Amino acid sequence: MSQKPVELLLNRELSLLQFNRRVLAQSLDAGVPLLERLRFLCIASSNLDEFFEIRVAGIKHQIKTGSPQRSADGLLPPELFKLIADEAHALVEEQYQAFNEVVIPELERAGIRFLRRASWTPQVDAWLRHFFQTELLPVLSPIGLDPAHPFPRILNKSLNFIVSLSGKDAFGRNTGLAIVQAPRALPRLIRIPAKVSGGKDDFVFLSSVIHAYVDELFPGMEASGCYQFRVTRNSDLLVDEQEAEDLLEELEDVLEQRQWGDTVRLEIAHNCPGEMQHYLMEVLQLSEADVYRCNGPVNLMRLMAVPDLIERPDLKYPPFVQKLPAWSQGDLFAAIREQDRLLHHPYDSFTPVVELLRQSAKDANVLAIKQTLYRTGAKSPVVDALVEAARNGKEVTVVVELRARFDEADNIDLAERLQEVGAHVVYGVVGYKTHAKMMLIVRREDSGLRNYVHLGTGNYHPRTSRIYTDYGLMTANVEICKDVHTVFHQLTSLGKAAKMHRLLQSPFTMVSGMHAKIDREIKAATEGRPARIVAKMNSLVDPEMIHKLYAASQAGVRIDLVVRGMCSLRPGVKGLSEHIVVRSVIGRFLEHHRTFYFENGDGGGKGAGGSEPEVYLSSADWMERNLYRRVEIAFPILDKKLRALVIEQLMAYVDDRAQSWVLRDDGRYERASGGGKPVQTRLLETLTTVDEAAGAVATALQLIRSSRKGKGGKKK
């Protein structure tokens, strides 16, 4: 290799911004239904929030402490921060350009309006003034800034206004500035009754209402300017696990700190005067590079609720019915004993997973249930079934990962709920997040005790199983069940790492196991035999894995990578990675499953030694945290028919030319050319039923409701 090692890697943070750019592009795609385009605009905004809360916050902390640590691609923290700021400012500008010039005008043409103050009719103005006086004014607490009223603490990502004032108040004070904080309980969007505005789907932003009537907050004074702003803070929780006597109590103590971390970003109205901006920068201890001027709402996520508020099936993705496999509609233990079963979400329903737990909770022959929980949601049927099992006298052991970012509070609640019914709740291993998705059921049968296992690539979360693509394997394979039992023993007890029969496990055998499989493909290529690797994951940033893939490419191994988000591998470089193609698929569903294919043969299905292709599914991306600092598993698909099905579906992603983006060697992505149906559409048509009846019913109901209303929205 002639390049320096750092020149072989793309920067992970810049790669993540490129992912957000691909998400934003969906909002401009005329082939995506209009309200779904609005969702993508909101998702891009939400992604940027987390990017600043975690990624940028970490880099700014390094700068603050003078850290000399370079990124994997050789950049010092100040150098990286400048590149990020340049890219992020451009991305935010593109977001608001898409919002103002494309999405909002198209929504208006479709009859969905966000009314600007200049367009308010006297009727709208009167209605909103009454709303302000009765609903907003009683809960707003404006703060005039003077020595007795210092600049208030600004809650992370809250909506605030800085107001310039003239005149004196009742005490003769003339401070000139005030801060208005909008409580989080207030709606960020206000729907205007059709009889008031004349439009069925008319909305006004809360910020517009406060701007319009801000004078009423300061009687006898004049507000000469009112500008919205929002502050983003460092939201990474710092918990000393080694010193904590009780991790749950320690996390409860530090959760509140998330709202008050160091300031990272200031979003402010685009027309805010320079002197006000610099005042905010000074009090918040931020620089010019940290300021993002927004030509619209400072938080586009406020619009995320709109698609659900509007009954316009013609502007949304068509409904579909998740498949409920025939084998799952009876005795699940018998079905799994018969053969391995595979679920592919969201095309397959998540119901069989919940039903397996429910049957286990009621089955007198089930003795024990062990499960990992990472993200399940606040109200989870999975937790309900585990609670029922514990109440029914089963030995229920649950490994709850309290440190699942932004789900810590929900996980604390469910851990306490499980403990209350007598379940054994542990929090994994100090220093290692438990990210593996596993369920183990121990059942007494005529032949003795038998184990049943569910292994997944995604969380035990019924809601996300409708919008994330994931696999779930149900099996009674003795070796796999033994391995899962071993992992649970590691998580709940003490002892040396035991040998695995079928699973690969982080932090012990995942890297060495994957390296061995890549080396086998390298050997095949050097011996003139067909060699191929296809890997699908969320992120690829681990330098060691990347250099192993470079070695495989140099040996002539054909490598196709489908990486949704961050990718530090630089593809298509002559003499280094010319046999590697990297794609990213962005669409209706969030691509979440990790699938790894190794040809292991002569290209005809079997190698010279009678071997067959290997396929592993996993919860682990190829990131340093997943490979070295988490408990993760990768599990093989041993059933030939199921393996062939997974391979067929994996190759559909590789062949996609309608929904994928191709990574260039400079880190930029280009939309694939060639057309055809998007891979997710093909899988929907193949694996589910598009619910045309449901769509027709929704449209009919919409027409009926419209026909019942006369002018001004009155019912006939």
- CATH code for the domain in which residue 52 is found: 1.20.58.310
Residues of the chain with pLDDT > 70, as a percent, come to 88
Tell me if residue 130 is catalytic.
no
Question: What's the mean pLDDT in 284-303?
Answer: 95
Instruction: For residue 316, give the nearest of 629, 37, 656 by alpha carbon.
Output: 37
Q: Tell which of 497, 521, 553 closes a domain.
A: 497
Q: What is the pLDDT of residue 176?
A: 81
Task: Classify residue 452 by its DSSP letter.
Answer: E
Residues of the chain with pLDDT > 90, as a percent, come to 75
Is the pLDDT higher at 416 or at 207?
Answer: 207
Q: What angle do CA 161, 166, 172 make, to 5 degrees?
A: 110
534-560 pLDDT tens trace: 999 999 999 999 999 999 999 999 999
Domain for residue 446, yes or no? Answer: yes
Q: What is the pLDDT of residue 563?
A: 98
Prediction pTM value: 0.90
Same-domain pairing of 442 and 488 = yes
Same-domain pairing of 103 and 150 = no
The one catalytic residue in 345, 435, 592, 593 is 435
The CATH number linked to 667 is 3.30.870.10
264-282 pLDDT tens trace: 999 999 999 999 999 999 9
Q: Which residues of 57-83 are buried (b: 16+ CB within 10 A; e: fewer)?
A: bbbbbbeeeeeeeebbbebebeebbee
Strand spans (E) along 234-382 = 263-269, 291-294, 320-321, 341-345, 366-373
Q: What is the pLDDT of residue 376?
A: 83
Same-domain pairing of 484 and 615 = no
* pLDDT over threshold 90, residue 695: no
Domain for residue 710, yes or no? Answer: no
Same-domain pairing of 90 and 146 = no
Tokens 């969380």 label which residue? 459
Q: What is the pLDDT of residue 412?
A: 78
Domain for residue 28, yes or no? Answer: yes
Mean pLDDT for all residues in the chain = 89
Same-domain pairing of 292 and 357 = no
* The pair of three-digit structure tokens given for residue 689, joined into one six-digit string: 């039923």
Domain for residue 474, yes or no? Answer: yes
Q: Tell which of 286, 310, 334 closes a domain.
A: 310
Same-domain pairing of 2 and 115 = no
Domain for residue 696, yes or no? Answer: no
Task: Classify residue 288 by its DSSP letter.
Answer: G
Same-domain pairing of 83 and 142 = no
Beta bridge partners of 266: 231, 291
Q: Which residues of 238-261 are buried (b: 16+ CB within 10 A; e: fewer)?
A: ebeeeebeebbebbeeeeeebeeb
Instruction: Report the C-alpha gap between 551 and 212 in whole angstroms.
Output: 63
Same-domain pairing of 197 and 155 = yes
The total of structural domains in the chain comes to 4
Q: What is the pLDDT of residue 221?
A: 82
Q: What is the pLDDT of residue 158?
A: 93
Same-domain pairing of 170 and 263 = yes
Q: What is the pLDDT of residue 495?
A: 67
Instruction: Report the C-alpha gap between 441 and 333 in whole angstroms.
Output: 10
Same-domain pairing of 469 and 512 = no
Same-domain pairing of 284 and 423 = no
303-323 pLDDT tens trace: 999 999 999 999 999 999 999
Domain for residue 671, yes or no? Answer: yes
Domain for residue 708, yes or no? Answer: no
Q: What residue type is assigned to position 466 of the chain? A: R
604-614 pLDDT tens trace: 445 444 579 99
Question: What's the mean pLDDT in 501-526?
Answer: 97
* pLDDT over threshold 70, residue 66: yes
Instruction: Report the C-alpha gap between 491 and 501 in whole angstroms.
Output: 18
Same-domain pairing of 448 and 413 = yes
Q: What residue type is assigned to position 574 of the chain? A: K
The residue segments making up the domain with residue 376 are 321-497
Instruction: For residue 438, give the nearest of 388, 341, 367, 373 by alpha carbon.
Output: 373
CA torsion, ordered 303, 307, 310, 315, to nearest 10 deg: 130
Instruction: For residue 36, give the nearest of 321, 345, 312, 320 by alpha carbon.
Output: 312
Instruction: Report the C-alpha gap between 270 and 295 in whole angstroms.
Output: 5
Residue 183: pLDDT band with limits 50, 70, 90 = confident
Q: What is the pLDDT of residue 427?
A: 83
Q: What is the pLDDT of residue 5?
A: 61
Cβ atoms of 363 and 334 within 8 Å: the answer is no
Domain for residue 691, yes or no? Answer: no
Q: Tell which of 257, 280, 310 closes a domain.
A: 310
The CATH number linked to 205 is 3.30.1840.10
